[in-house]
């Protein structure tokens, strides 16, 4: 990573602004490192310091692009949410300004938009000096209500005044947020798109003066509905560049439920008449035809075998007692394990059958509790042995003596279950446990056992809470200390349910040891839960908490699906090609007695093609893991529509290993609509101003790669790459970027699945959250043609624009955290030969120099 120091005058000006905010001290050390820290993006916007999330109030005004953003002015995790502010003349180089709209004792300033009130409809300015007006969500601290409010600026956005008669729109909801407002010329009215988050709806309101609003219509549920809907944006675009043909695009962000897991951004194309948005995609879906093997329509489970009491004595014909409305099942009946509520458990298993088809399609709903191959289905006895602590007393006393607490997180004694404002804690034994959520995640401390002798093979314990390993900067972990060194450690999995963990102590027999429980984390999931610490000769077994459908072949689970935390059933599919001719069973499992501890299933069908989930059928702005809260600039020159997004994911957003800032924005993208195979699709490209950052260009000759990775004559931490890929006979082929030090981020094409993918499992630092490492995929059929790739590589991100010969496009955006020395680029092919040609590479200059 470049550590070039920027020109002194520009650096001192930036430090002066930040010093005025109380953010940084203008010290020589700061001057040397500001904007050049490890992982600091060099051509993506980041705040100089502290937390950033959603982009807000995007507007072009008097030669400047204004970027407001969700910001914690005093910390590196979410909190104290205010509107930060930055400006740019070219969408590339940014100047951070003082906080625009600060939070106060009554409200936090959630997402929203900014408009230029040209006709001074609000009266906040004059016709000669019309005001900029921010329409934002006022998140009330006392009640949790979310209301729409106004602030205005008459000095070009530098200083802001809150409207004295806020809120201007209040429906009494805690899930009513993120207004995007624009002027609709045909009706001479202001229009607002705002999220009814938990209803999966976007509400539309109109106003003459931005102060008084009238409800017009709602859109949704539609598309992907796996999480709350947030940050809507509605705008028109020409189709195929034809000014006589215009469609409207509605962008809707959701969390969780994104295509890559966690946060995601989808879009709808349709028509808008000033009151109502109508999507071109009606949402109707006909799955592939096939042979139905079980539809539960007979009135009984037939030859399927039920255990436990969760599934009742027969299929359900709708919601059962205390259950919310169930939708999406086929016919009249389906399997429903909510009999007796979430606390009941059981299984429903098919008779053995021979696998004959390519796919097994079915509908599934209910709780999101995936299959764990290390967990055991059924009752799991607690391990026996020497109990070092069960935390049942009022103080931290135990059979081996008193445990010692420091800090505030652990209090003076064990917790009696769930603490105030905490999600439901489950899985502990008895009444007490160690729980460092005392007074919330912000508290820290340690809890250390007396010394004991290791005289058994295993140390077993129940653990839950945050996933922050002992190796991280701010761990939430249980550590085993021997001879002053940490020799074993474990952390939670970002869940309040405690589960058994076990350490093999075979190599430590006879040693003196201590257990240290550490909470050094003040961010999200910054706490740890512990119970029932036992020295034992038996290894603790993990009990299954699955709610799902399993395919068992020869008695082993070979595929599994779970619900999405919803009472709506959706299609799912198992690929059974590799199991043809083998004996199999279907097992529907409810092993969970906690929240959403039930499963719904229906319409098991053998078919030649897979059924697609509503998530797979949705139209995604980006298929990567790190593109959320996407929004566009208002009033951009030439009518261009430019989008930017928060380049992070709520799954792990507060755990990424960056300091003194956390989170970046995606590189701005220009949007257009193109007709592809008779359907109108959104096309995205980096804004043209990117070319101003280009430095040295490298043009590479055509490269053939066979079953290997071949280094290319390109090197750098900030790059733009363009190439055409012909997969040829290869199973998978593409580019590896940020290679070196045993690391790589793989950008490839999988010919078997017809997908572009990013594999960041070996990209560098990945251990800060269990959901970070993995592969993100996007469907894009090549039909024997070439894949055109455009890739932006930065210190901690890759953005991939991929297009086939028909003009169909997908994009993928992922964060990565490689070693600064990992700057190589390779071409690779697996299982055959591929060709890379027309490849060009540019070094990209830092915007912070």
Task: Report the catalytic residues.
Answer: 54
CA distance 639 to 631: 15
- Bridge-based pairing of strands 50-61 and 661-662 is parallel
Nearest to 837 by CA among 700, 698, 702: 702
Torsion of CA 353, 358, 360, 361, to 10 degrees: -160
Cα(789)–Cα(803) distance, rounded to whole angstroms?
7
Task: Give the integer Cα–Cα distance in Å for 255 and 771.
Answer: 14
Copy the structure tokens of residue 510.
Answer: 């006879």
In sequence order, what DSSP letters do the residues of 40-78 get, joined into one string? Answer: --SSS---SSEEEEEEEEEEEETTEEEEEEEEETT-SSS
Residue 685 contacts residue 811 (beta carbons within 8 Å)? no
Q: Is 370 strand, coil or helix?
A: coil
Nearest CA among 803, 766, 790, 804 for reference residue 844 = 790
> Could you tell me if 560 and 551 are in contact, meaning their C-beta atoms sit under 8 angstroms apart?
yes
Are 323 and 339 contacting, i.e. CB atoms less than 8 angstroms apart?
A: no
CA 63 – CA 456 distance, rounded (Å):
72
How many Cβ atoms sit within 10 Å of the Cβ of residue 583? Answer: 13
Q: What are phi and psi of 309, to 5 degrees?
A: -120, 5
Question: Are 522 and 441 spatial neighbours (Cβ–Cβ below 8 Å)?
Answer: yes
DSSP state of 393: S
Residues 6+ apart with CB under 8 A from 96: 14, 17, 18, 47, 48, 84, 85, 86
Q: In 10 A of CB 339, how many CB atoms?
A: 20
Which DSSP helix (H) or strand (E) runs through 616? helix 614-617
Cβ-count burial 441-463 (b if 16+ within 10 Å, e if not)? bebbbbbbbeebebebbbbbbbb
Measured in degrees and rounded to the nearest 5, phi and psi for residue 197 equal -60, -50
Which DSSP state fits 399?
T
d(C-alpha 70, C-alpha 86), whole Å = 12
Distance CA 40, CA 37 (A): 5
Q: Could you say which DSSP state residue 638 is in?
A: G
Structure tokens at 206: 């109109």
In a 13 Å sphere around the CA of 783, the CA atoms on its Cβ side amount to 6
Q: Which helix (H) or strand (E) holds 430?
A: none
Cα angle for residues 256, 257, 261 (degrees, 5° grid): 85
506: left (phi over 0), alpha (psi -120 to 50) or beta: alpha
- Cβ atoms of residues 335 and 364 within 8 Å: no
Q: Give CA–CA dist 610/596, Å, rounded.
A: 27
Q: Take residue 438 and report the two structure tokens written for it.
A: 């005392």
- Asked if residue 510 lies in contact with residue 453, where contact means CB atoms within 8 angstroms, the answer is yes
């Amino acid at each position: 990573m470049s550590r070039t120091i920027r020109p002194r005058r520009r650096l001192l000006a930036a430090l002066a602004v930040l010093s005025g905010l109380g953010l940084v001290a203008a010290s020589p050390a700061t001057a040397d490192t500001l904007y050049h820290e490890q992982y600091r993006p060099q051509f993506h916007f980041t705040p100089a310091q502290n937390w950033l999330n959603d982009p807000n109030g995007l507007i072009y005004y008097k030669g400047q692009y204004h970027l407001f953003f969700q910001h914690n002015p005093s910390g590196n995790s979410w909190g104290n949410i205010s509107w930060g502010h930055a400006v740019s003349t070219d969408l590339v180089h940014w100047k951070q300004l003082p906080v625009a709209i600060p939070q106060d004792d009554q409200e936090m300033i959630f997402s929203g938009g900014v408009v230029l009130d040209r006709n001074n409809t609000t009266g906040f300015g004059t016709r000669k000096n019309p005001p900029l007006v921010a329409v934002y969500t006022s998140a009330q601290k006392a009640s949790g209500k979310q209301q729409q409010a106004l602030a205005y600026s008459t000095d070009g956005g530098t200083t802001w005044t809150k409207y004295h008669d806020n809120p201007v729109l209040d429906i009494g909801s805690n899930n009513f947020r993120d207004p995007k407002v624009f002027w609709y010329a045909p009706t001479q009215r202001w229009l607002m798109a705002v999220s009814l988050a938990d209803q999966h709806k976007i509400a539309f309101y109109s106003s003459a003066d931005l102060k008084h609003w009238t409800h017009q219509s709602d859109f949704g549920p539609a598309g992907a509905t796996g999480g709350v809907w947030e940050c809507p944006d509605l705008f028109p675009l020409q189709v195929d560049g034809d000014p006589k043909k215009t469609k409207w695009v509605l962008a809707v962000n959701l969390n969780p439920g994104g295509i890559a897991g966690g946060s995601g951004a989808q879009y709808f194309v349709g028509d808008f008449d000033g009151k109502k948005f109508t999507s071109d995609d009606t949402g109707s879906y006909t799955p592939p035809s096939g042979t139905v093997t079980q539809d539960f329509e007979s009135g009984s489970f037939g030859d399927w075998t039920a255990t436990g009491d969760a599934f009742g004595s027969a299929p359900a014909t709708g919601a059962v007692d205390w259950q919310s409305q169930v939708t999406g099942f086929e016919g009249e009946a389906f399997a429903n394990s909510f009999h007796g509520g979430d606390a009941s458990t059981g299984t429903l298993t098919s008779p053995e059958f021979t696998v004959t088809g390519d796919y097994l399609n079915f509908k599934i709903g209910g709780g999101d509790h995936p299959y764990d191959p290390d967990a055991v289905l059924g009752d799991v006895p607690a391990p026996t042995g020497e109990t070092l602590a069960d935390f049942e007393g009022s103080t931290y006393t135990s059979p081996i003596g008193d445990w010692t607490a420091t800090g505030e997180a652990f209090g003076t004694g064990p917790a009696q279950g769930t603490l105030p404002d905490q999600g439901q804690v489950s899985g502990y034994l008895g009444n007490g446990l160690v729980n460092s959520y005392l007074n919330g995640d912000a508290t820290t401390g340690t809890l250390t056992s007396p010394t004991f002798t290791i005289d058994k093979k295993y140390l077993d314990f129940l653990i839950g809470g945050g996933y922050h390993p002992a190796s991280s900067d701010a761990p939430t972990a249980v550590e085993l200390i021997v001879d002053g060194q940490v020799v074993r450690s474990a952390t939670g999995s970002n869940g309040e349910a405690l589960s058994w963990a076990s350490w093999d102590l075979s190599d430590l027999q006879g040693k003196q040891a201590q257990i240290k429980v550490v909470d050094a984390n003040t961010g999200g999931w910054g706490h740890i839960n512990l119970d029932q610490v036992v020295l034992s000769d038996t290894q603790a077994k993990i009990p299954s908490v699955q709610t799902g459908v399993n395919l068992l072949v020869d008695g082993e689970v070979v595929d599994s699906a779970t619900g999405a935390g919803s009472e709506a059933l959706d299609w799912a599919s198992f690929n059974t090609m590799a199991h043809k001719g083998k004996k199999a069973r279907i097992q529907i499992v409810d092993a969970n007695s906690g929240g959403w501890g039930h499963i719904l299933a229906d319409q098991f069908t053998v078919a030649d093609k897979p059924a697609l989930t509503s998530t797979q059928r949705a139209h995604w702005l980006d298929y990567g893991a790190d593109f959320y809260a996407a929004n566009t600039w208002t009033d951009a020159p030439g009518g261009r529509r430019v989008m930017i997004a928060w380049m992070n994911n709520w799954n792990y957003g507060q755990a990424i290993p960056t300091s003194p800032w956390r989170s970046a924005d995606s590189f701005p993208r220009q949007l257009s609509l193109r007709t592809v195979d008779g359907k109108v699709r959104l096309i995205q490209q980096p804004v043209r101003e990117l070319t101003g950052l280009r430095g040295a260009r490298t043009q590479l000759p055509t490269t053939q790669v066979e079953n290997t990775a071949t280094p290319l004559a390109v090197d750098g931490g900030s790059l733009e790459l363009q190439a055409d890929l012909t997969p040829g006979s290869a199973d998978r082929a593409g580019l590896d970027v940020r290679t070196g030090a045993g690391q790589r981020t793989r950008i490839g094409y999988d010919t078997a699945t017809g997908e572009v993918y990013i594999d960041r499992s070996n990209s560098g630092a990945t251990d800060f959250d269990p959901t970070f490492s993995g592969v993100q995929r996007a469907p894009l059929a090549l039909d024997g043609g070439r894949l055109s790739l455009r890739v932006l590589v930065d210190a901690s991100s890759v953005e991939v624009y991929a297009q086939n010969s028909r003009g169909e496009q997908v994009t993928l955006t992922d964060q990565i955290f490689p070693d600064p020395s990992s700057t190589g680029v390779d071409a690779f092919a697996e299982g055959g030969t591929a060709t890379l040609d027309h490849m060009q590479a540019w070094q990209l200059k830092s915007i912070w120099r």
